[in-house]
Amino acid sequence: MALILGPEGYASFLVRGAYYELSKHRPSLIELSYSEFLLDVGRGDKLSLSESKALASPRLENDLPLLASYNLLLESSAKAMGAVDEIKMFGLLDKIASSIKEGYDPISASSIYLAKLISLLGLAPKIDGCADCNKKDEIVAFSLRHGGLLCRNDALKEGVSPNSAKYIQIARYCFMCPLNDVGRVELSKAEAMEFIKHCLVFVSEESGLSLHSARLLAFL
């Protein structure tokens, strides 16, 4: 068992050798759940799971946006492990999953999640000025493939179609929003979906993470 200790007192761990399910293991196998664990220190300081108790797990019911968002969180975090800082990844998952649990719109939460995941993958775009010339005004487009915001001249030069001012504002918000502010601004479904599709294409092209859960999101 490998323990990852987070700055806020939580711990995440990767379990190895759980070849069959025992009742004491069960809470550790429920995705995006919270549980209490009692660990034993054995020979050679190795940790083993002694007892566990499930505290809370997501309720999916018949909510397709919720299901699609949870699938995206699970698939992308599992596939990104090893390529990102695991403690930061866990903090991100915790904040996003908690905001959804507290009633935040899952599609808006997924938009912020994807922006933060792109940053964790080391692919953060430039959002405080044009990615080509650093100009702060006349920003007309946002393109992850072209490095972020683009001014009128550079969008034309790069052959990038202009976006609406609202879309650019959404992209900036998703990348800049501090994790503690997640849940404060709700995006319209159409705006959020356009941003999510843009992020998914970029993630697949740049990092090779091909996300099957994106197909479910595309139906919403």
Minimum distance between the CB of residue 168 and Zn ion, rounded to whole angstroms?
A: 14
Is residue 154 involved in binding Zn ion (CB under 5 A)?
yes
Minimum distance between the CB of residue 153 and Zn ion, rounded to whole angstroms?
A: 6
Is residue 196 involved in binding Zn ion (CB under 5 A)?
no
Strand 139-143 relative to strand 148-151, pairing? antiparallel
Is residue 97 involved in binding Zn ion (CB under 5 A)?
no
The residue of the chain with the least Cβ separation from Zn ion equals: 130
x/- string (CB under 5 A) for Zn ion, residues 102-131?
----------------------------x-
Nearby residues of 192 by Cβ (< 8 Å), 6 or more positions away: 105, 107, 108, 110, 111, 170
CB contact at 8 A, 51 and 91: no
Contact window for Zn ion (CB under 5 A) among 13-21, 55-63, 152-160, 194-202: 152-160
Is residue 151 involved in binding Zn ion (CB under 5 A)?
yes
Contact window for Zn ion (CB under 5 A) among 74-82, 92-100, 110-118, 144-152: 144-152
> d(Cα 75, Cα 98) in Å, to the nearest integer?
17
Tokens linked to 55 = 């505290």
Is residue 64 involved in binding Zn ion (CB under 5 A)?
no
> d(Cα 110, Cα 56) in Å, to the nearest integer?
21
Distance of CA 73 to the CA centre of its chain: 6
Is residue 72 involved in binding Zn ion (CB under 5 A)?
no
Q: Residue 186 to residues 22, 95, 164, 215: CA-CA distances in angstroms?
A: 41, 16, 18, 23
Q: Which is nearer to Zn ion, 89 or 168 (CB)?
A: 168
Minimum distance between the CB of residue 157 and Zn ion, rounded to whole angstroms?
A: 8
Within a 10 A sphere around the Cβ of 17, how many other Cβ atoms? 6
- Binding region for Zn ion (CB under 5 A): 130, 132-133, 135, 151, 154
